A and B are shown apart, each in its own frame.
Chain A
Amino acid sequence: MTRKRRRRKVAITRQRTARLDRVTKARLREDRSVAENRRAGLLALVLSAAVIRLTLAPLTAWPNDVATWVRLGWDVLAGYGPYDRLNFSYPPGWAAILALWLQPLALVLPPQRWATIPEGGFTDQLVPHPLFLIVAKFPAILADLGVGWLLYRQVRWAAALWLFNPLVIFVSAVHGQYDSFVSLTIALSLLGALSGTVFTSGLACGIGTALKFAPVFTGPVILAASLRRGFETGRLRQAATKGAEWMLGAALGLAPAVPFLHSAFMVVVSARLAAAAAGSDGLNPGALRRTPWGADWGFWSTWYPVLSQALLVLIPLLFALIVLWRGERALLPATAGTVIAAIAFQPVTQPQYIVWLVPVALLSGSRLYAVVTTALAVPALLYYDGLVGNLVRFVSQPASVYLHWGSSLEATMESYLDYLGQRGAFGGQSVSDSIALLGMLVSPVWVGLLFISFWKALRDAR
């Protein structure tokens, strides 16, 4: 009897084990299939985003800006530093990234073919070769995809909103600018702080600053979050350690840029600032000065430039204090607010700066931020169109020159020069009128978003 019972017990146990195995395996299969679906989803998203970008990249460019990358590449091949011949006025980190990609390009495409000034005197701009364009734009496209990957791991729909945002695509794949590195490093720094990897957070902020300076504005806010994390563990010493860890990371990220920061760098920076002061304000409140309503307003034309510079410094510090007080729950809106201030109070707000804000807005989980920042792509692209009269024609010069696709360069430049000569609705040139109008329309959005960020960062304190 006992033997029989034992056998039965063993049989039951075996049956149970088999059932459990089946359930576990089914669950594992399910998990694997979910993971595979996630991977497939990410792959599909990233691949389709990459295909769009890599198709546009060789055919289009904003020649004025990409010509700077061409000149930098030539200087590097000649054995000169990025600032030795004053042809490059961007931070040294970007020179390093370009140097890395452009030196091997010379083995495939000889440097004399990197760009050309088309015969006929229609333009005095270098028009870059499609192969050069692919190579020079590739790092920024990778940064785009990197941001997409980061976002996908947090909020899936956010990755799609980023990867298929027309402004994001335009900046990296069409224009040839590299603002997606700012977006990537700010997002990395922010996520690092949120996940407690303080050193990585500082490192990302340092790298971003070496590449395009703007991430430096988010430094105080994210450092404050790291300090606060230390305080939360109870001791001043812990806070100091966390702060030091963050600073060390930032210093290491910035270090590769430091050897290039000599007097020639300051010469190009001063020249750039002088040119900025003489030019348009872009998509910021300073644009009001260029309108008939603001031109005679003494405060705006005299005091705004000084006030904006003060706000550019004070607002990030204020947000840092809020984070120090409120802790990590204030970090996302505080970072968003800081980036908004960094965009809105720059001497010149180029439309591509909007790209800096998009990942932070999407990570915040706030629908308002997400909708508004995504919608800002419209005025940004209209601004570019307002600068040149016909955006598609202007940026497709490489396709026209090298592949003879689309409008001829002669027709493009003729219509461009006609547009530059036209009088606008305010009595000024069409170009300055259009962009002043857009700047004026977008400015209240910045101010509104800034107030919302303050409110979001402080609301738990109420």
Chain B
Amino acid sequence: MPGKSTRVLSLALVSFLVSGTLALFMRQALPEKGFTLVVEPGGVRYQTPERQYAYSWYLTVACRPAHLDQIYVLTDPTIDNTYAGNRAVLIGLLNHLARDAAVIGWEPMIETVTIEQMRTVLESGRPAVLIDALGYWPAEIAPSTLEHWLAAGGVLIWLGDRFGAWLWTADGPEWAEQPLDELLWGRSMYDPDALARTATVPLPGERNAGLVYWLALSGPSPAIVSELGGRALGWQTPDGRRVSHAVIPLGRGSVVIFGGRLVRVRGLASEVAQDIVVILYRGLTDPRALVRAGTTDGTGASGFEPVEPSCPETRAGIGSSDPWIFRLTSASLGPTARRRGLDDDG
């Protein structure tokens, strides 16, 4: 008798397992129709896919230079007192960056750098993306080096408390006399009266831009970001004094500020990685980027967006950051624009 019951239960289990495996495979092997984007004279025609459930989508048109495909991440092991708390979270960020880029078909070059290598990158004057997720600015790298690199088109992504307020020295962390925002823009980007609150609400529609990291505990003031010619994105505290993301231009480059630290909030550092991929892939580092947002009940949306490319590297991107969709696709507009003789200030 035990033979019979073990056979019945084992067969039931193996049937479940095989059916589940087939369900997983079928889902991957038979991909549903994705987002489409067609460059036409005067703009882009877009279509979002049909699904059985609602989702949000974003269309972006921005100057997206090729150097956004070159990403350096500061992981210097001498910075051992990380805000991340656990170096595994930093490794998690790197892994997620690579995987989230790969699933949308983007293959940036991601390299880790020490402080010395970071200095070399900055001094080279070659624009690229530099991620400092440790919450410290290396004291041995002069802010002017960063300023020149940003002016040349570099993009710095910062995660931590106030931008550059903590320096990393040979003796460990040290409070900076002047944080980087004051050194680079001559003023603070933070509201001195803003409280550190965990509660946030998404910025409406286009301003949320499909960003999912929602902490703004040490986020900059959206009003000051705007005065500096930048753009506040993502989420804001209920009083509107802090935001979770800001893109602030400097010369031909820009600084992307996250409103908090890289911490192990849920599982691995997936929200930060996803946002970095979304920001870079769509060219949201361009503060003048055009963003259109929409939601669909699943029937899909389509339309034509008139576009006037502002540089030869203008790209349009469309997709959804909703985790049950997470797809992005893009198309270049630059050469088309030149052919059609549209404005080109690049």
Name A residues whose Cβ lies closer than 8 Å to a Cβ of B.
Answer: 64, 67-68, 71, 73-82, 84-87, 92-93, 95-100, 103, 106-107, 110-112, 117, 119-122, 124-126, 139, 146, 149-150, 153-154, 184-185, 188, 191-192, 194-197, 200-201, 203-204, 207, 210-211, 252-253, 256-257, 259-260, 264, 267, 271, 274-275, 278
- In the complex, the number of residue pairs spanning A and B with C-beta atoms less than 8 Å apart equals 185
Contact between chains at A112 and B324 (CB < 8 Å)? yes
- Identify which of A95, A204, A274 contacts B24 (C-beta below 8 A): A95
Contact between chains at B324 and A78 (CB < 8 Å)? yes
Knowing A76-B27, A81-B24, the reply to whether A86 touches B16 (Cβ < 8 A) is no
Among B75-83, B84-92, B106-114, B125-133, the stretch in contact with A: B84-92
30 CB-based A-B contacts, threshold 8 Å: A67-B267, A76-B27, A79-B31, A85-B96, A85-B100, A86-B99, A92-B21, A93-B20, A96-B16, A107-B52, A111-B323, A111-B324, A121-B197, A121-B198, A124-B215, A150-B9, A188-B13, A192-B6, A196-B3, A197-B3, A197-B6, A200-B3, A207-B10, A207-B13, A253-B10, A256-B18, A259-B25, A271-B88, A274-B91, A275-B88
Contact between chains at B27 and A79 (CB < 8 Å)? yes
Interface SS, A side: helix
Contact between chains at A150 and B6 (CB < 8 Å)? yes
- Identify which of B20, B265, B326 contacts A97 (C-beta below 8 A): B20
Contact between chains at A100 and B324 (CB < 8 Å)? no
Contacts of A154 in B (CB 8 A): 2
Could you give, for residues 24-35 of chain B, a 1 whenever the CB lies within 8 Å of some chain A CB and a 0 otherwise? 110110011000
Contact between chains at A125 and B266 (CB < 8 Å)? yes
Contact between chains at B2 and A99 (CB < 8 Å)? no
B190-215 with Cβ < 8 A to chain A:
197-201, 214-215
B170 at the interface (CB under 8 A from A): no
Contact between chains at A81 and B14 (CB < 8 Å)? no
B66 at the interface (CB under 8 A from A): no
B184 at the interface (CB under 8 A from A): no
B1 at the interface (CB under 8 A from A): yes
Knowing A112-B54, A121-B197, the reply to whether A207 touches B20 (Cβ < 8 A) is no
Knowing A78-B325, A197-B6, A210-B17, the reply to whether A271 touches B201 (Cβ < 8 A) is no
Contacts of A98 in B (CB 8 A): 20
Name B residues whose Cβ lies closer than 8 Å to a Cβ of A.
Answer: 1-3, 5-7, 9-10, 12-14, 16-21, 23-25, 27-28, 31-32, 52-55, 86, 88, 91-92, 95-96, 99-100, 102-103, 197-201, 214-215, 265-268, 270, 322-327
Tell me the minimal C-beta distance from A260 to chain B in angstroms: 8
| Complexed CA–CA distance, A457 and B102 (Å) | 52
Tell me the minimal C-beta distance from A229 to chain B in angstroms: 13
Which chain A residue shows the least CB distance to B274?
A85
Tell me the minimal C-beta distance from A85 to chain B in angstroms: 6
* Apart from A79-B27, A100-B16, A112-B54: 18 A-B pairs, beta carbons within 8 A: A71-B267, A76-B23, A79-B31, A80-B28, A99-B24, A107-B52, A111-B323, A126-B266, A149-B9, A153-B2, A188-B9, A191-B2, A194-B2, A196-B3, A200-B10, A201-B6, A207-B17, A274-B91
Closest 4 CB pairs of A and B: A96-B20, A121-B199, A121-B198, A100-B20
The CB with the most chain B CB atoms within 10 A, among A106, A200, A260, is that of A200
Contact between chains at A195 and B2 (CB < 8 Å)? yes
Which chain A residue shows the least CB distance to B197?
A121
| Complexed CA–CA distance, A146 and B6 (Å) | 10
| Complexed CA–CA distance, A215 and B32 (Å) | 37
| Complexed CA–CA distance, A267 and B102 (Å) | 15
Knowing A196-B3, A267-B95, the reply to whether A87 touches B17 (Cβ < 8 A) is no
Contacts of A87 in B (CB 8 A): 267-268, 270
Tell me the minimal C-beta distance from B323 to chain A in angstroms: 4
| Complexed CA–CA distance, A126 and B290 (Å) | 31
Contacts of A257 in B (CB 8 A): 17, 21
Contact between chains at B54 and A278 (CB < 8 Å)? no
Contact between chains at A106 and B3 (CB < 8 Å)? no
| Complexed CA–CA distance, A264 and B92 (Å) | 12
Contacts of A203 in B (CB 8 A): 10, 14
Tell me the minimal C-beta distance from B51 to chain A in angstroms: 8
Contact between chains at A188 and B6 (CB < 8 Å)? yes
| Complexed CA–CA distance, A207 and B20 (Å) | 13
Tell me the minimal C-beta distance from A13 to chain B in angstroms: 37
| Complexed CA–CA distance, A253 and B15 (Å) | 10
Knowing A78-B325, A85-B100, A207-B14, the reply to whether A67 touches B266 (Cβ < 8 A) is yes
| Complexed CA–CA distance, A76 and B32 (Å) | 12
| Complexed CA–CA distance, A203 and B14 (Å) | 8
Tell me the minimal C-beta distance from A230 to chain B in angstroms: 17
| Complexed CA–CA distance, A274 and B266 (Å) | 16
Contacts of B52 in A (CB 8 A): 106-107
Tell me the minimal C-beta distance from A401 to chain B in angstroms: 15
Contact between chains at B21 and A153 (CB < 8 Å)? no
Contact between chains at B10 and A110 (CB < 8 Å)? no
Tell me the minimal C-beta distance from B94 to chain A in angstroms: 10
